[in-house]
Chain A
Amino acid sequence: MNENKTVVRLENVGLRYGRGHEVLKDINLQLDAGSFQFLTGPSGAGKTSLLRLLFLSLKPTRGLINMFGQDVASIPPAKMPFIRRRIGVVFQDFRLLDHLTTFQNIALPLRVAGQKEKQYRSDVMDLVSWVGLKDHANAYPPVLSGGEKQRAAIARAVITQPDLLLADEPTGNVDPDLALRLLRLFAELNKLGTTVVIATHDTNLIRNSDYNVMELANGELEYGC
């Protein structure tokens, strides 16, 4: 099963927005299949930017990005969606669709992949219950609390059991207990083979686990313990 041991490889990647300064400089990074990484760094250090490079929503200004053994620059646009389907993303600002219910939001990746509701209904409901949103399954995001939205966003990212999970500050809006519960969800997914990267300020979360930590500072990546 493990023919592609490296899920992500970045070589000398640099990124700047427009004509601004370089937000990321000379990033070299390798994520092995099944690894679990924290990504920390002060606000504005470029964590979100790095994750955006990883889920193909930005192109680097220089350097090489290789995902699942393919050079990203050489992937034709029509193939991009199929790469994205292997990546689950939790956005810092959730990005739920306000006109869909919680259930529909969480089921969205399955739906756009062409599955019928009959096929996925019970799986999605299980996950909805697991993240504690059973009573809100038919509610719309605008009436959910910050933490509830966060859980919905996480559920949407993991529903497909992606090969790579990128979570940007996934515990920023929940209490410490729930944060640890969500971390367990990520850990379990990781055990099933998903490569996980979590960007966070939450030192409590990092302290409570023994995963690798990378730190971004001044646009450069440093590997911690």
Chain B
Amino acid sequence: MAASKTGTGLLPRSQMPLKTLMIAMTIMCYLASLSIGALVLINQAVDKWSSDIAGEITIQIRQLDGKDIEERVSKAKTLLDQVKGVTKVEVLDKTAGAKLLEPWLGKSNIISELPIPRLLAVTINRASPPDFGLLEKQLQQAVKGASLDTHRRWQAELTRMGTSLKWLGYSVLMLIVLSAIALVIYASRSALEANRHTVEVLHFVGATDPYIARQVQWQFLLAGLKSGIAGMAMGVLTFLILGLSTATAASSGFVEASYSLLLGAPEVNYISYMLFFLIPLVATLICLIAARLAIMRILQNAI
């Protein structure tokens, strides 16, 4: 850039408090990349959970005195088979319900004597799901003791948790940006303070404020770019290590998402990468703009 060619060099680089700024900015960018990574992972995990859940519902049929449960189970299956949007109905055998209780009761005969409800796993066509409310009503009218568990409550709770986590993430990002701006303003102030004598002389020989600001701002821009790249690299590395070290563990949504985020599973969205690359860009812009504004302000108040 032409401006930087005539501009740089009038303020000595050695007298710039840029090292401290760069360390602090690198940490800020690292924290920003962690928050962005967390945001992306939360988004992906919530997506995965909610889509899994919506793809399958469970029908529960309670034991009732004097009513044949098997008959009611087959009645429910017949009904469900005719519902549009249901692709598969699987009647889980008696032990399926019991198995769910095993961790608490242990393997014993008590289980078979308990009035354990029977379960039907219903696979839903996600493209055109049935009206769950209507389905539930029909079921309850036709089959006594039947109830439909769409996992909606779960879904709502997960979504709520995901949303608050997201807002938390955005707030953290906002705070990071604010602290970064404060840092740059502080550093600009001390840069001018350290070069007070030079700035004074430049003023006396007729340098304009924008000219003096240019001497400093390119060095801030460079500092921002460098620390942005460093912070981003550290962040990506952290997720890489996190992804690799937990990849073999049982796949929950979160770990799978973090694994795929870094190792390029097909469902990875490129926007996530774009967000990471935004960090050096934003850091550079913050350094340039905040330094410029702060310097111009200080110079105007100088005399």
Contacts and interface: CB of A to CB of B under 8 A. Distances in A.
Interface of A: 55-57, 59, 77-78, 80-82, 84-85, 89, 95-97, 99-100, 108-109, 111-114, 116, 156
A82 B197 contact: no
Contacts of A100: 10
A96 B200 CA distance: 11
A163 B204 CA distance: 15
**Nearest 4 A-B pairs (CB), nearest first?**
A85-B206, A112-B207, A109-B205, A84-B206
Interface string B1-42: 000001000101000000000000000000000000000000
A96 B204 CA distance: 11
Contacts of A84: 203-206
Interface string B94-136: 0000000000000000000000000000000000000000000
Contacts of A89: 204
B300 A112 contact: no
Contacts, number: 54
B219 to A, nearest CB: 14
Interface residues of B, number: 18
6 contacts: A81-B207, A84-B205, A95-B201, A109-B206, A111-B10, A112-B206
Interface of B: 6, 10, 12, 197-198, 200-209, 211, 300, 303
A57 B205 contact: no
Given A57-B303, A81-B203, A84-B203, A97 B198 contact: yes
Given A77-B300, A95-B197, A108 B205 contact: yes
A103 to B, nearest CB: 14
B205 A112 contact: yes
A57 B204 contact: yes
A124 to B, nearest CB: 13
B206 A82 contact: yes
B201 A97 contact: yes
Contacts of A81: 203, 206-209
A212 B241 CA distance: 82
A97 to B, nearest CB: 6
Contact of B204 (A78, A95, A111, A116): A95
A55 to B, nearest CB: 7
A156 B205 contact: yes
Contacts of B206: 81-82, 84-85, 109, 112-113
Contacts of A78: 208-209
Contacts of B204: 55, 57, 84, 89, 95
